[in-house]
């Protein structure tokens, strides 16, 4: 998409970073014993938006409280073996939100190993 000529709009990206909670994820024996801590970072490209909404009402913008809850719900709905499966499900769900044209998601398994975390990042849609 070409950049608009108007100076009253800008490209808007909603970012949620450092969201930490527990999810049932993994194939290793210790991962199957119970939920493990993960961290999710997400960016949602909303494309060209007015520099200010036409009013100051939460119902006219993407409510980040709802986005946060969708992330938690998608990641905790059921046990998933692969991080690749979980991140694909989450990216698909976030891309379905009204006005979202692109999604970048990073999920890190924080305690899978004693000496490092493991993370996968996925990008889909328009950037």
What is the per-residue pLDDT across 65-79, written as a single tens digit (0 to 9) for each? 999 999 999 999 999
Residue 113 — pLDDT band, cuts 50, 70, 90?
confident
Residue pair 86/110 in contact (Cβ under 8 Å)? The answer is: no
**Cα dist. 111→30, 36, 89 in Å?**
10, 7, 22
Looking at residue 31, its pLDDT comes to 85
Helix 83-95, helix 64-76: angle, nearest 10: 150
pLDDT of residue 49 exceeding 70, the answer is: yes
With H, G, I as helix, E, B as strand and everything else as coil, classify residue 79: coil
Looking at residue 1, its pLDDT comes to 58
The domain at 9-107 falls in which architecture?
Answer: 2-Layer Sandwich (3.30)
């Amino acid at each position: 998409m070409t950049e608009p000529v108007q100076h009253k709009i800008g490209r808007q990206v909603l970012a949620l970073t450092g969201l930490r909670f527990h999810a049932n994820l993994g194939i290793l024996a210790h991962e199957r014993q119970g939920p493990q801590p993960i961290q999710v970072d997400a960016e949602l490209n909303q494309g060209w938006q007015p520099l200010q909404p036409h009013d100051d009402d939460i119902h006219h913008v993407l409510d980040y409280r709802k986005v946060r809850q969708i992330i938690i719900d998608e990641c905790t709905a059921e046990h998933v073996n692969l991080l690749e499966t979980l991140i694909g499900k989450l990216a698909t769900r976030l891309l379905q939100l009204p006005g979202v044209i692109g999604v970048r998601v990073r999920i890190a398994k924080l305690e899978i190993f004693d000496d490092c975390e493991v993370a996968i990042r996925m990008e889909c849609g328009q950037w």
